[in-house]
Amino acid sequence: AYPIVAKMLAQQGITAAELIGNRERVKQIKASDFTDERFGLPTILDILSELEKPGRDPRGEFQTASFAEGIHEISDLQVGMILEGVVSNVANFGAFVDIGVHQDGLVHISALSNKFVQDPREVVKAGDVVKVKVLEVDAARKRIALTMRLDDEAGATKGNRPSESKHSERRDRKPQRNDRAPTNSAMADALAKLKR
């Protein structure tokens, strides 16, 4: 591409410093004058746009999330917080969202939208910037439950498993014994006849 630029400079009678970034000068150059068997029109047009805006990034605009100030660790999270994050991965059961605490939170498939979602990929994809609400934080297990339904009440997620305290109550409870003999069974009737 350098020989092409050298030809452009010679044709215009200017230096590289006078051409680079000078939109008016670049617009005066006719791209078709510089095409040959090595460089086609699309390449020449790319060279001209680079001369017009040196250092430009040809990729589309990239959005990033604005992580909340002061939220750096999982211990900084509070139930009910609304945060901005970036979808880091999408699975069949939901989407993982980076909210800036070194541990991605999970938005379950049922919390992705107010409508039924068959496949999470219909709603989000990796790299999407999303707003989420913190529903539950389990720092010991490094688990963060999130929702994209911002009107959901924190801690009132559908289908939540019973809390650990309910599990321990069930384990501590002793089974009830039924000391009464079953009635109206064949064995009970036979024993009753023997006693007579």
Nearest to 146 by CA among 111, 119, 115: 111
- Residue with structure tokens 């969202």? 97
Residue 119 is predicted with a pLDDT of 96
pLDDT class of 107 with cuts at 50, 70, 90: very high
Residue 2 is predicted with a pLDDT of 86
Residue 175 is predicted with a pLDDT of 61
Based on DSSP, count helices (H) and strands (E) in the chain, helices before strands: 6, 5
pLDDT class of 66 with cuts at 50, 70, 90: confident
Q: Which CATH class is domain 2-52?
A: mainly alpha
DSSP 82-141: EEEEEEEEEETTEEEEE-SSSS-EEEEGGGS-SS--S-GGGT--TT-EEEEEEEEEETTT
Q: Is the pLDDT of residue 168 over 80?
A: no
pTM of the model: 0.52
Q: For 68-81, what is the mean pLDDT? A: 92
What's the sign of the alpha-carbon dihedral 119, 125, 130, 136?
positive
Q: Where are the domains of the chain?
A: 2-52, 74-161
CA distance 9 to 19: 8
Topology annotation, domain 74-161: OB fold (Dihydrolipoamide Acetyltransferase, E2P) (2.40.50)
Helix (H) or strand (E) holding 165: helix 164-172
11-21 per-position pLDDT tens digit? 999 998 898 88
CA distance 139 to 102: 12
Give the range among 70-74, 77-81, 173-177, 187-191 with minimum mean pLDDT: 173-177
Q: Is the pLDDT of residue 171 over 60?
A: no
Residue 91 is predicted with a pLDDT of 96
More confident residue, 78 or 189: 78
Q: Is the pLDDT of residue 73 over 50?
A: yes
118-160 per-position pLDDT tens digit? 999 999 999 999 999 999 999 999 999 999 999 888 765 444 4
Residue 50 is predicted with a pLDDT of 87
Strands 82-91, 129-138: pairing kind: antiparallel
Please provide the size of the chain in residues: 196
Contacts of 143 by beta carbon, 8 Å cutoff, 6+ apart: 106, 136, 137
50-64 per-position pLDDT tens digit? 888 877 666 666 677
